Amino acid sequence: MAVVELKNVTKRFGGFTAVEDVTFSLGKGDILSLLGPSGCGKTTTLRMIAGFENPSDPTNETWGYCFRITHFSRI
């Protein structure tokens, strides 16, 4: 079972696309590392996972969000 799951997540700021069509899932005990050049959307992706930013195009109907985060107390 995925603890964190993103499906086709996109984030736009006006006409600028910061994150486009990101999909991945993390299970219990998995470690994630986001690597890339400055301005490629790493921080924006992490901010969406943390709930500080909302995705522009929600595609997964799980609780009305593009991603799903299991309660951290169950991890």
Set out the domains of the chain in order of their start, with CATH numbers: 2-74 (3.40.50.300)
Residue 39 is given by DSSP the state T
Q: How confident is the model at residue 8 (pLDDT cuts 50, 70, 90)?
A: confident
- pLDDT of 61 above 90: no
Residue 59's pLDDT is 52
| Angle of CA points 56, 66, 7, to nearest 5° | 105
